[in-house]
Amino acid sequence: MHMSDTVIQNHEPNYLEYQGRYKGIFAWIFSTDHKRIGLLYLYSMLVLFSAAAILGLLMKIELIAPGKTIMDAQTYNSFFTLHGITMIFLIVVPGLPAVFGNFFLPLMIGAKDVAFPKLNLLSWWIYIAGAAIVLSSQFFGDGPPDTGWTFYAPYSFRTGTNMLPAVTGAFILGFSSIATGINFIVTMHRMRAPGMTWMKMPLFPWALYGTSWIQVLATPIVGITLLMIVLERTLQIGFFDPALGGDPILYQHLFWIYSHPAVYIMILPAMGVISEIIPTFARKTIFGYKAIVVSTLAIAFVGYFVWGHHMFTSGMSGTALYTFSILTFLVAIPSAIKIFNWVATLHKASIDIQTPFLWALCFLFVFMIGGLSGMVLGALSANVHLHDTAFVVAHFHFIVFGGTGYAFFGALHYWYPKMFGRMYDKGWANIGLAVFFTGFNTLYLPMFYLGMIGMPRRYYDYVEEFHGPNIVSSFGAMLMISGLVIIITNLVRSARKGEIAEADPWKGKTLEWTVASPPPLENFAEIPVVTKRPYDYE
Amino acid sequence: MEKEQHTHIVKYKTYVFVLIALLLMTFTSVAITSLNLGPYTVSAALLLAGSKSLLVLLIFMHLKFDKKFYSIMVGGVFLLFASVIFITFLDYLYR
Ligand code: HEM
Ligand SMILES: [Cu+2]
């Protein structure tokens, strides 16, 4: 059925060839086409990601031996700050919605674009402006910020470094996030193809729906909080600094009221991607579609109430401590439901093992380790021992890099033929994944152990007892970066040189596979009428 | 797209009343700071600010005349906000 449709559409210019009002690079940076905007984000993020990954590698090289290896303490402090700010605020928070949400949401629900294409382009511009301001903190003023990505009070007022641009940039980035969220919510409410009821909508759009609500409702809180830092630093208003009559724990509350829901902004779309990849390669309807939808919304909702688990050692009241601990354990339930559903989908399936599927499998493996280590940290007693150690760093790299990062690369390998009309070299893609996956585990697994035996995070130095595992971990970092180089080189090269891809190389059943690869400018010559559920393989 | 797009026209008089009410409440919240209400100063200010927002939402922003669905959405958001504040106070009240 799909093939014949695409042949008819082939004479239309696809979105890559299309010539509009502007030429050259302007045809991209002023394009309101959701697909081009998706690629704008993709390219911006690949550049930023490569830079931040290199900072990470340099930190790991510093930690290969005790004492000063390649940088001094202050440089190390500014490296983990810039690494964290870039990875969190510029990559994993906007990441999947901005790149794949933009590109595929309209295609998957049978629409020609998002509801507000101009607002969409504005979001990208705000993103670039925010990124530029954040990065400017490195190059002028009193030296790069050194607070870590969390900007904790009162240090963020006392440090002599260049805080204002970093905080202001993060504030501006929030608007991009909110605008994208509103855009997606309206798109899903108003522009689903005829016949696509809510319960016939694919799971990646569903995940974006939950994510968008968090973006709209939680981002303003961090916005105000960052603004309060600016006011406190410039006008000496005492919100958080005890010396001015403020409360530093209030800062932690406000910061995590946003930043915990923000971890669900990162992970929900990742779960959505996995829910697309698994049924396609299992050739089976997803097990428990409704349970996945409900757990998506439940995660989005309960995720608002657990922020205090980042503050167990801050001196909060006992009542708050155990309330947050209980709520934290609750939020693991919907995540576990999803794991069960994915595994149940694989049960007795005739699986087609391809690169995107391998990424999804690796996701399941590392995400489980990340989630379970979260439970360890959610327990009050264990947390007192493990807070601010390498264990926490291992936890969130397993879950953020292992979750969102793996899903991002999985999505890239899954939708690549649709986006570029070409296929990457599958052999190299698998080798890259194998090297990356081995490196990833060699890098982060020892950090669980290091945290348990007491190695604190955010130090450039350590005592001799920690040396062995650190050597292993630093070696893992080099291996992992080599894997990334293979993966990215293969993808970049294949965009020009890869084999021409068919419209539906994986035999997917969702609407994006019914249009040509790359999709025509307006996606659908005729808006499809949906009669079936999204993963109909029977 | 939807057919039942009836436009509700609010009377000019209503707008003027709302404006006066908003102004009155603004003056009250300024005046209240000179009374010494102790710990209730903040609650009084919040109560007044809350009523003002409610008026703006209902009348100026037409929530009262729109579909029920929108009121439910806005209500849900306020409920979420209230729960977050409640949980925060589990720390402040018991510290
Ligand atoms: C099973 C669910 C999860 C539980 C129970 C959990 C629990 C925790 C706890 C208790 C901490 C604080 C540790 C400490 O500082 O002492 C923490 C830190 C963190 N978690 Fe999770 N987590 C879960 C899932 C996630 C997810 C899905 C993400 C992101 C996608 C995430 C990202 C983070 C990050 C970034 C930090 C560290 C923040 C920092 O201090 O820099 N977690 N987690
Ligand atoms: Cu959290």
Q: What is the whole-number distance in angstroms between the Cα of residue A501 and the centre of ligand 2?
A: 41
**In the predicted structure, residue B1 carries a pLDDT above the cut 70:** no
Mean pLDDT of A522-536: 89
For residue A138, what are the contacts with CB-CB under 8 A and spacing of at least 6?
A78, A82, A144, A162
**Which string of b and e fits A224-255 if b means at least 16 CB within 10 Å?**
ebbebbeebbeeeeebbbeeeebbbbbbbbbb
Distance to chain B for A189, nearest Cα, Å: 12
Distance to chain B for A72, nearest Cα, Å: 39
Mean pLDDT of A520-524: 90
Longest dimension (CA), chain B: 55
Task: Report how far apart, in Å, the C-alpha atoms of A189 and of each of A185, A390, B5 are.
Answer: 6, 43, 17
The first and second tokens of residue A443, run together, are 């890098």
Residue A323: its chain B contacts at CB < 8 A? 87, 90
Q: Residue A300: which pLDDT band, with cuts at 50, 70 and 90? A: confident
Q: Is B16 on the interface with A (CB under 8 A)?
A: no
pLDDT of residue B6: 60
Which among B1, B84, B87 has CB closest to A323? B87
For residue B67, what are the contacts with CB-CB under 8 A and spacing of at least 6?
none
Q: What is the whole-number distance in angstroms between the Cα of residue A259 and the centre of ligand 1?
A: 10
SS3 sequence of B54-89 = HHHHHHHCCHHHCCHHHHHHHHHHHHHHHHHHHHHH
Q: Residue A88: which pLDDT band, with cuts at 50, 70 and 90? A: very high
Mean pLDDT of A508-526: 91
Cα separation, A517 vs A497, in Å, equals 15
**In the predicted structure, residue A274 carries a pLDDT above the cut 90:** yes
CB–CB of B91 and A190 under 8 A? no
Query: Which is more confident, B39 or A416?
Result: A416
Cα separation, A444 vs A480, in Å, equals 10
Three-state DSSP at A423 gives: strand
Q: What is the whole-number distance in angstroms between the Cα of residue A399 and the centre of ligand 1?
A: 8
Pairing assessment for the beta strands A499-500 and A422-423 based on DSSP bridges = antiparallel
Cα separation, A148 vs A459, in Å, equals 11
**CA nearest neighbour of A229 among A217, A214, A244:** A244
Q: Is B1 on the interface with A (CB under 8 A)?
A: yes
Q: Which residue has the tokens 């291996």?
A: A479
pLDDT of residue B41: 81
Cross-strand bridge partners of residue A423: A499
DSSP per position, A116-162? -HHHHHHHHHHHHHHHHHHHHTTTSSS----S-TT--TTHHHH--S-
Q: Which residues lie with the beta carbon below 6 Å from any ligand 1 atom?
A: A 150, 263, 266-267, 309-310, 328, 331-332, 335, 371, 374-375, 377-378, 383, 387, 392, 395-396, 399-400, 403-404
Cα separation, A357 vs A345, in Å, equals 13
Cα separation, A123 vs A175, in Å, equals 8
Residues A64, A471 contacting (CB under 8 angstroms): yes
**In the predicted structure, residue A15 carries a pLDDT above the cut 90:** no
**In the predicted structure, residue A411 carries a pLDDT above the cut 70:** yes
The first and second tokens of residue A537, run together, are 């393989």
CA angle at A398 for the pair A395 and A402, rounded to the nearest 5°: 155
**In the predicted structure, residue A269 carries a pLDDT above the cut 80:** yes
The first and second tokens of residue A135, run together, are 């990065």
Which residue ranges form the domains of chain A, and what is each CATH number?
A: 39-514 (1.20.210.10)
Distance to chain B for A421, nearest Cα, Å: 34
Which among A190, A253, A318 has CB closest to B88? A253
Q: Is A257 on the interface with B (CB under 8 A)?
A: yes
Q: Is B86 on the interface with A (CB under 8 A)?
A: no
Q: Residue A9: which pLDDT band, with cuts at 50, 70 and 90? A: very low
The alpha helices in A202-286, defined as continuous H runs, are 203-235, 248-282
Mean pLDDT of A469-474: 97
**In the predicted structure, residue A4 carries a pLDDT above the cut 80:** no
The first and second tokens of residue A71, run together, are 């940088």
Longest dimension (CA), chain A: 72
The first and second tokens of residue B67, run together, are 């579909």
**In the predicted structure, residue B7 carries a pLDDT above the cut 70:** no
- Asked whether the bond before A518 is cis by omega within 30 degrees of 0, the reply is yes
Distance to chain B for A320, nearest Cα, Å: 5
Mean pLDDT of A388-405: 95
The first and second tokens of residue B11, run together, are 């009377």
Burial of A464 (0-12, 13-18, 19+ CB in 10 A): exposed
**CA nearest neighbour of A296 among A212, A390, A190:** A212
Residues A209, A191 contacting (CB under 8 angstroms): no
Cα separation, A4 vs A286, in Å, equals 26
pLDDT of residue B2: 44
Cα separation, A274 vs A409, in Å, equals 11
pLDDT of residue B65: 85
Q: A456 — phi, psi (to 5°)?
A: -70, 155
Q: Residue A518: which pLDDT band, with cuts at 50, 70 and 90? A: very high
**In the predicted structure, residue A243 carries a pLDDT above the cut 70:** yes
Q: Is B70 on the interface with A (CB under 8 A)?
A: no
Cα separation, A379 vs A324, in Å, equals 10
Q: Is A246 on the interface with B (CB under 8 A)?
A: no
**In the predicted structure, residue A498 carries a pLDDT above the cut 90:** yes
For residue B94, what are the contacts with CB-CB under 8 A and spacing of at least 6?
A317, A318, A319, A320
**In the predicted structure, residue A331 carries a pLDDT above the cut 90:** no
Ligand in nearest proximity to the CA of A151: 1
Tell me the best of A85, A392, A458 to mutate to test the pocket of ligand 1, counting ligand atoms within 8 Å of each CB and taking the most: A392
Q: Residue A505: which pLDDT band, with cuts at 50, 70 and 90? A: very high
pLDDT of residue A164: 87
Q: Which residue has the tokens 């989908």?
A: A345
Mean pLDDT of A102-123: 95
Mean pLDDT of A257-271: 92
Distance of CA A308 to the CA centre of its chain: 22
Cβ–Cβ pairs < 8 A, chains A and B? 38
Best A224, A319, A322 residue to mutate vs chain B (most B CBs within 10 Å) = A319
Ligand in nearest proximity to the CA of A311: 1
Cα separation, A291 vs A89, in Å, equals 30
Q: A422 — phi, psi (to 5°)?
A: -135, 160
The rounded mean pLDDT for chain A is 92
CB–CB of A304 and B91 under 8 A? no
pLDDT per residue as tens digits for the range A32-56? 999 999 999 999 999 999 999 999 9
**In the predicted structure, residue A460 carries a pLDDT above the cut 70:** yes
What sign results for the dihedral spanned by CA atoms A322, A324, A329, A334? positive
Residue B93: its chain A contacts at CB < 8 A? 317, 319
The one-letter code for the residue type at A18 is Y
pLDDT of residue A6: 45
Long-range contacts of A314-317 (CB under 8 A, 24+ apart): A314/A249, A314/A252, A315/A249, A315/B95, A316/A249, A316/B91, A316/B95, A317/B90, A317/B91, A317/B92, A317/B93, A317/B94, A317/B95
Mean pLDDT of A215-244: 89
Q: What percent of chain B has pLDDT over 90?
A: 32
Mean pLDDT of A339-343: 93
Model ipTM value: 0.83
**In the predicted structure, residue A5 carries a pLDDT above the cut 70:** no
Q: A40 — phi, psi (to 5°)?
A: -55, -45
Q: What percent of chain A has pLDDT over 90?
A: 76
Mean pLDDT of A320-339: 91
DSSP per position, A46-91? HHHHHHHHHHHHHHHHHTTSSS-SSS-HHHHHHHHHHHHHIIIIII
A220-234, A241-255, A366-380, B28-42, range with the lowest pLDDT: B28-42
Looking at the CA of residue A383, tell me the nearest atom of ligand 1: 16
To the nearest 10°, the Cα dihedral for A94, A100, A103, A106? Answer: -100
Looking at the CA of residue A313, tell me the nearest atom of ligand 1: 16
A23-27, A190-194, A332-336, A429-433, range with the lowest pLDDT: A23-27
